[in-house]
Amino acid sequence: MFSEEDASSFYYEKERVIHMTLKEFFEEIPKAAVAFSGGTDSALVLWAARKYGCDVRAYYARTAFQPEFEWQDARRLAAELEVPLKEVPVNILEVPEVRVNGPKRCYYCKQALFNALWKAARADGYHDLLDGTNASDDAGDRPGMAALRELKVRSPLRECGVTKQEVRRLSREAGLFTWDKPAYACLATRIPTDRPIGAEDLVRIEEAENALSRLGFSDFRVRLLDGTARLQVTEKQTDMLISKRKEILTALRPYFSAVLLDLESRNPSM
């Protein structure tokens, strides 16, 4: 198990700045709401808040962009940590700037989600809202992070200099089942920019990815290309994909007119 001494001794130095530890962060923020996605990063934030005595509550934004397994993982971890979890439904496709799926879709999506989370958190008496952005996340490549800054959402992992590699190490030592969970981007990322997002496309993408999971695949994407599916898997699962070609075609045929393989292996960090 992960020791308190290990956490309190972890520092990250960048440009001659020594960041506070997670323990020190939660001594400074003794009461907070956590935007909890069920993923590896926000799971560590929730664990650290609980461990270091923070009065914490988790909030899950439930939208058409999140698959069912993320909600189930969020519920499981919150129960294991004995942290109360509130579901916050958001009809994200009612936001025009999100539905049209332009280059700033993520910015408008984060605005809508975190405004809803702030409303729920403040109604429960919380005045600090935290998320799971870590120190490895590139702010220049993530439009949604601008929305987080504007809405004054704090990111303990980023502020404490905790990188993605450290998130996984600390999560494993803490005994969190999310420690090796593959990176997951929302279902909207499967749809090409400037193609409007429809609920039916999200459903068939989720069903297709569920089918591949049942066939034993992990850390992959089913991307929409016109009416076809473009499959991206990591290099180590390429042979399995070829060997299960018939099963994949049978599983995905109800959802797509054709199934294509992207020969560029998927980067597990993307």
Shared domain for 168 and 203, answered yes or no, is: no
Q: Are residues 229 and 132 in the same domain?
A: no
Q: What is the CATH number of the domain that holds 215?
A: 3.30.300
Residue pLDDT, tens place only, 143-168? 778 899 999 999 999 999 999 999 99
pLDDT of residue 163: 95
Last residue of a domain, one of 180, 206, 240: 180
Same domain, 45 and 165: yes
What is the C-alpha separation between 154 and 152, in angstroms, rounded?
6
Domain extent for 32: 19-180
Same domain, 158 and 212: no
Tell me the pLDDT tens digit for each residue of 87-107: 999 999 999 999 999 999 999
For residue 270, being part of any structural domain is answered with no
Q: Which of 3-12, 126-135, 178-187, 227-236 has the highest mean pLDDT?
A: 126-135
In the chain, the number of structural domains is 2
Asked if residue 17 has pLDDT above 90, the reply is no
